[in-house]
Structure 1
Amino acid sequence: MRHTVDYYLAPQSPWTYLGHERFAALARETGAAVRVLPMDLGKIFPISGGLPLPKRAPQRQAYRLLELRRFSEALGVPLHPEPKFFPVAGDPAARLITAVALRDGADAALRITGAVTAAVWAQERDIASMDVLGELLAECGLDAARLDESQQAEVQARYEQQTQAAIDLGVFGAPTYLVDGEMFWGQDRLDFVARRLRA
């Protein structure tokens, strides 16, 4: 049986970054069919009880930094807990990933997602910059035309549809993996995702 995974993500999320390469490797290993689905957390948080980082209680913000360091070290994944360009608008990168998924398929979308998330958290680059997004496309060997396409109405509509689908499914944070419809929230649940995909 070939499993299907709907991969709901936010490109500016450190947790998406920390889990991304492990998830992509797991999908390759198991032959899972992946749909790469960026979503707008700015629309999801207000209706799901989430808060943007600056509005969270100080003790929650402090513990988040501790956990980021902890996971970075445990996983051997380089990460700046307080990168130069963060908070950062995720929409331009989310639309770019959506455009790549539409035109080039899941493997290419996984590749550009990995590049975008690493750009924020490992390389301290500004993913709200069109210039940076163009550089990332080139570094991934993808068509430069995707940048213009990412600003077209069709892609914006798809991004909004993905966000609404996430809301309808009860998704409340990133990353979320729906394996054959079963929800797993967070990169720290990838062990459970692996069990499900290998079953």
Structure 2
Amino acid sequence: MKRLTFYFDPLSPYAALGFEALPETLAGHSVEVVYRPILLAALLHAMGQKGPAEIEAKRRWTFRQVAWLAHRQGVVLDAPAQHPFNPLPLLRLAWACAAPAGQPGDTPGRWAVEQLFHHVWRGGGADANEPARLAALTQLLAPGQDPGSEAVKQRLRSETEAALTLGVFGVPTIELDGRLFWGQDALPMLRAALDDDPWFRSGAWELAAQPRPGLTRRH
């Protein structure tokens, strides 16, 4: 059985769409999926980047594109009332639904992750951080750990740092056999890897990533 890791932040509409499309991508293969919530803002900060929603022209395009992609996938995608928003309560809730690190079940399951995405992206445009909604979601998920505990906060920090060390730079990122597939639009490429497309054994993967020195921007 293959093992696949899905890195996500519920803040990202592309992660939500990727999550919805993943079962179809994996159809016919025996795959264990591990879900790892991480803080996208920390990835962007580490690389000195802004998120798409923080750049107005890019924000407009992003939400037009994800609305189209949702239409094409035949899924609901309601943008929340505020975006970007602080995803820390949801990320900590996700890890609180898992067992402590090193114990069986120490990552959140698909059902819990699905409820997080639906809370944000199928909430009819409601505020993802509205206290009553967060309380209702917490009650529904019934986490085994306290989302506000230092252990849960540290788990989120350590998982995000580990993802950065691995080379994750955005969400969704899917790791399979040591390869990182970034973005909802990389799912066909992931499927090809699962299908053992000869391209992945030809050396083309490694060759394409070789550095090509060019102009260096001076500040």
TM-score (norm 1): 0.83
Counterpart for residue 14 of structure 2: 15
Over 3 Å counting, the alpha-carbon distance change for 1:192 and 1:97 in structure 2 is same
In 2, Cα distance between equivalents of 1:14 and 1:168: 24
The equivalent of 2:74 in structure 1 is 76
Q: Does 1:61 align with 2:62?
A: no
Q: Any unmatched runs of 5+ in structure 2?
A: 197-219
Q: CA deviation at 1:138?
A: 4.9
Identify the residue that residue 150 of structure 1 maps to in structure 2: 147
What CA distance in whole angstroms lies between the structure 2 residues aligned with 1:11 and 1:71? 17
- Determine if contact 1:32/1:197 at 8 Å carries over to the other structure: no
Aligned length: 192
Equivalence for 2:37 = 38
C-alpha distance in structure 1 between counterparts of 2:69 and 2:146, whole Å: 35
Cα 1:107–1:149 shift into 2, 3 Å: closer
Q: Does 1:195 align with 2:192?
A: yes
Q: CA RMSD in A?
A: 2.5
Deviation at 1:27, TM superposition (A): 5.2
Shift of 1:195: 2.5
**Matching residue's letter, 1:46:** H
Indicate the structure whose relative CO is greater, using CA pairs within 8 Å and at least 6 residues apart: 1
In structure 1, how many angstroms separate the alpha carbons of the residues matched to 2:10 and 2:36? 10
| Aligned amino acid, residue 195 of structure 1 | A
- The offset of 1:122, in angstroms, is 2.0
Between Structure 1 and Structure 2, the one with more helix by share is 1
- 1:127 and 2:128 are equivalent in the alignment: yes
Length-normalised TM-score, structure 2: 0.76
CA contact (8 A) 2:5 2:174 kept: yes
Q: Of the two, which has the highest radius of gyration?
A: 2
2:46 and 2:59 map into 1 onto residues whose CA distance is 21
One-letter amino acid matched to 2:71:
E
Query: Per the alignment, do residues 180 and 39 of structure 1 end up closer, same or farther by CA in structure 2, a change over 3 Å counting?
Result: same
The amino acid across from 1:169 in the alignment is L
Mark the CA change 1:119 to 1:167 in structure 2 (over 3 Å): closer, same or farther: same
What code does the residue aligned with 1:65 have? F
CA distance in 1: counterparts of 2:21 and 2:45, whole angstroms: 29
Task: Classify 1:85/1:24 alpha carbon distance in 2 versus 1 (closer, same or farther; 3 Å).
Answer: farther
Once the two structures are aligned, what percentage of the paired residues are identical? 26
Give the drift of 1:96: 1.3
Distance 2:2 2:48 in 1: 30
Gaps of 5+ in 1: none
| Change beyond 3 A, Cα 1:95–1:73 | same
